[in-house]
Chain A
Amino acid sequence: MAYLLNVILGTIVPMCVTALVTMAITIIFKTSSTTNFAQGVISAFGAYVVASGLNKLNLSIWLALPIGIVVAVAMAVAIDVLIFRRGRYVNALGKQIITMGLISIIVGAIPLIFGMQAPQFRTFVEGKLSFLVDGQDVTVTVNALVCLAITAVVLTALFLLLQFSKWGLSVRATASNEYVAGMLGINTHVITAISWGLAGALGTLAATMNGGINQVGVYFMTNYQVNAFLAGILGGFATFYGPVIAAFLIPLANNLVVYLANVMGKPELSSWSLVIVYGLALVIIFFKPQGLFGKRTVKKV
């Protein structure tokens, strides 16, 4: 029991990172109708800005994070205004390929701007909490709890805004049909720009959390991005909450497989955990193509 608790508590930060990235990808998918493959590198760019704030300006992480967010938001909005708004007549595949081109651009730009060396990073707070369960130690870092709190606040606020604010209504209208939304007086340009900005901000937040537990690098968010895409189709892109719930499930399932492998006395199975989890996800998607929480759409000829 204590071991299981330790496993679950150890998954908190990856779950938060995946959930935030998934939210960012979902919001762009809904408003710009493309899968943003550059989400990972945009987030990494934000993390590099945060790292320069930490290392070169000796700021605290609470000051460096907003700076990183502002830069990433500016970059994401610039991408929307300069590229996506002009490429309106590019088809869906073309848009995806543009985001792939963006990966190359940013991957090339990061070493040019920040240098080749991987930056040092810090967690939000230091320290651990320990308590006893069944006479065994259960440990959780304070940082993980802070990450969880931030993620909970941010995601709750976003969902509330999406559901109840005028902006949320405009986003949902744009997601359902951009042209009709524009006809009804919604400034869809502003809506997509805000979505991109939000995606940049969420990505930077996620990357900063991830930077506390993993080595920062150009591709260090790619795995989370892949998880986020899978979460997107596992939960179904039709809703906002589906992907986010799936985003919590994937890292959790991954660590549970590791836990089961260890409990059953076959620790060598644990390196197969991602294979098993992804395989399961694909099987579910095969039988429920619209996702766990999706709505069935009827294809028109």
Chain B
Amino acid sequence: MDKYLYENYALFGSAPEQNKGLTARARGILANPLHHYLLFGVVMLVVCFLSANKVLPYSLQSGLAITFAYSLASVGFCLLMGYSGLASLGTGGFMGIGCYSIHFVMTEAGLPFGVALVVALAIAIVLGLIVGVVSLRIEGIYLVILTLGLSEILRNLYIAVQDSIYLSTFKLFGITVPRSASGYVVTVLLVIVMMLTHNLIVSPTGRAMLAMKNSTAAAQAMGISLMKYRLLAFVICTVYAVLSGMMLMITIRSAMATDASGFYALITSLNILAAVIIGGFRSIWGAVFGTFIMYGLQTMLLNRIPFLQENPVIITFVSGILVVLVVMFYPGGMAQLVQEVRGKLRKSRAARREAKYGKD
């Protein structure tokens, strides 16, 4: 029995041997990709904590919270574009649903966060289903424009209903969460969402979506229901976008619908798209990294440089150039870069081993 167990452990690469070093054990834990997300979450929570207590610069935690809030939308978009091959420019409009449900349910009606969450998710699912059904009839560039139109409808709806919204106090499970502590909530949610998305991608659902992306006809021939997976992809993307809007509302606490550079303007949808492209559109880490480039870099690091603080437009300018260069010369994004570097390292390590021990 013991022997059998041992063999099994050996198979999965994490035998509880006594003489195993700490690094080997750490490597064993990190062999599970889900643990990467947990580790990331813990590190970021510590950074948030240190920053809130002013050990690290104070602006760090708000920058992180904003980046992670937008990252939720990016991860959803990554799933939609990288795995299902569908593109949408509705992200900004969908994010507004989260913001407005928080305003109307929590600020106006005084109900708890859970109710706002349920309302927002219900609307998100309905909208996702509608867009999914539309995507069965209209494809490609036309679908992009259609979702853009839908997003504009939503934005004009927000302007017509109420232009300026706010959230004064945010309570989670009866505890008041101040603005400076919103980073914790956002980080925890992002880690959960990343893990769920990872599981989805490696599951048969993810494979089916990938098949659908490569060829709808071939996927259908293999018995994959286009309708089911397209609807699913859009529902998930919309739900993530709505969550992202809710988290932004918790982090920033107010929003304006008429603001041309605000949350639910066209520019947000474009920025999320650019973030996913820069990061590499088939990688969850890439999506988060790209969002950091688009949103976090400026508040967290570049604003420390006085020249850039005076001319924030230079960052917009450079990020635009970056997007164009990445698409033209590096279509896989940062994820491709990381993979290539990793491959080169592996090759050089193998070469070194060969030089040392000879060929096997």
**Could you list which residues of chain A lie within 8 angstroms of chain B, going by C-beta atoms?**
34-35, 37, 83, 86-87, 90, 92-94, 96-98, 100-112, 217, 219, 222, 226, 229-230, 232-233, 271-272, 274-275, 278-279, 281-282, 285-286, 289, 301
Q: How large is the interface on B (under 10, 10 to 19, 20 to 34, 35 or more residues)?
A: 35 or more
Q: Are A107 and B313 in contact (CB under 8 A)?
A: yes
Kindly report which residue of chain A lies nearest to residue B323, judged by CB atoms.
A101
Candidates A111, A217, A233; contact of B146 at CB < 8 Å: A233
Given known contacts A97-B273, A103-B320, A105-B321, is B138 in contact with A286 (CB within 8 Å)? Answer: yes
Residue B318, interface by CB 8 Å:
yes
Given known contacts A108-B320, A112-B311, A219-B261, is B149 in contact with A229 (CB within 8 Å)? Answer: yes
CB of A95 to closest CB in B, whole Å? 8
CB of A101 to closest CB in B, whole Å? 3
The binding surface of chain B is classed by DSSP as: helix
Q: Are A289 and B316 in contact (CB under 8 A)?
A: no
List 12 interface pairs A-B (beta carbons < 8 Å), by A numbering.
A101-B320, A101-B322, A101-B323, A102-B324, A104-B274, A217-B260, A222-B260, A272-B156, A272-B160, A278-B150, A279-B153, A301-B217
Q: 1/0 per residue B76-91: CB within 8 Å of A?
A: 0000010000010000
Q: Are B149 and A226 in contact (CB under 8 A)?
A: yes
Q: Are B328 and A86 in contact (CB under 8 A)?
A: yes
CB of B42 to closest CB in A, whole Å? 34
Q: Are B323 and A98 in contact (CB under 8 A)?
A: yes
The residues of B that contact A282 with a CB separation of less than 8 Å are 146, 149-150, 153
Candidates A92, A100, A286; contact of B274 at CB < 8 Å: A100
Cα distance A90–B326 in the bound complex, in angstroms: 11
Q: Are A104 and B144 in contact (CB under 8 A)?
A: no
Chain B stretch 261-320: residues in CB contact (< 8 A) with chain A: 261, 266-267, 270, 273-274, 277, 311, 313-320
Candidates B138, B148, B217; contact of A289 at CB < 8 Å: B138
Residue B20, interface by CB 8 Å:
no
Cα distance A35–B138 in the bound complex, in angstroms: 16
Q: Are A107 and B153 in contact (CB under 8 A)?
A: no
The residues of B that contact A109 with a CB separation of less than 8 Å are 313, 317
Cα distance A231–B266 in the bound complex, in angstroms: 17
Residue B159, interface by CB 8 Å:
yes
Q: Are A90 and B321 in contact (CB under 8 A)?
A: no
Cα distance A194–B137 in the bound complex, in angstroms: 34
The residues of B that contact A90 with a CB separation of less than 8 Å are 327-328, 331
The binding surface of chain A is classed by DSSP as: helix
Greatest chain A CB density within 10 A among B134, B277, B319, B327 is at B327
CB of B162 to closest CB in A, whole Å? 11
CB of A175 to closest CB in B, whole Å? 14
Residue B140, interface by CB 8 Å:
yes
Residue B40, interface by CB 8 Å:
no
The residues of A that contact B323 with a CB separation of less than 8 Å are 97-98, 100-101, 104
Q: 1/0 per residue B149-184: CB within 8 Å of A?
A: 110110011011000000000000000000000000
Greatest chain B CB density within 10 A among A83, A106, A108 is at A108
Q: Are B314 and A289 in contact (CB under 8 A)?
A: no
Candidates A98, A107, A230; contact of B328 at CB < 8 Å: A98
Residue B9, interface by CB 8 Å:
no
Cα distance A186–B284 in the bound complex, in angstroms: 44
Q: A35-B144, A105-B317 are in contact. List 13 more A-B contacts (CB 8 A).
A: A90-B328, A96-B141, A97-B327, A103-B320, A104-B319, A104-B323, A219-B267, A222-B260, A230-B148, A233-B142, A233-B145, A233-B146, A278-B149
Kindly report which residue of chain A lies nearest to residue B85, judged by CB atoms.
A93
Q: Are B314 and A108 in contact (CB under 8 A)?
A: yes
Cα distance A99–B273 in the bound complex, in angstroms: 12
Cα distance A230–B142 in the bound complex, in angstroms: 9
The residues of B that contact A217 with a CB separation of less than 8 Å are 260
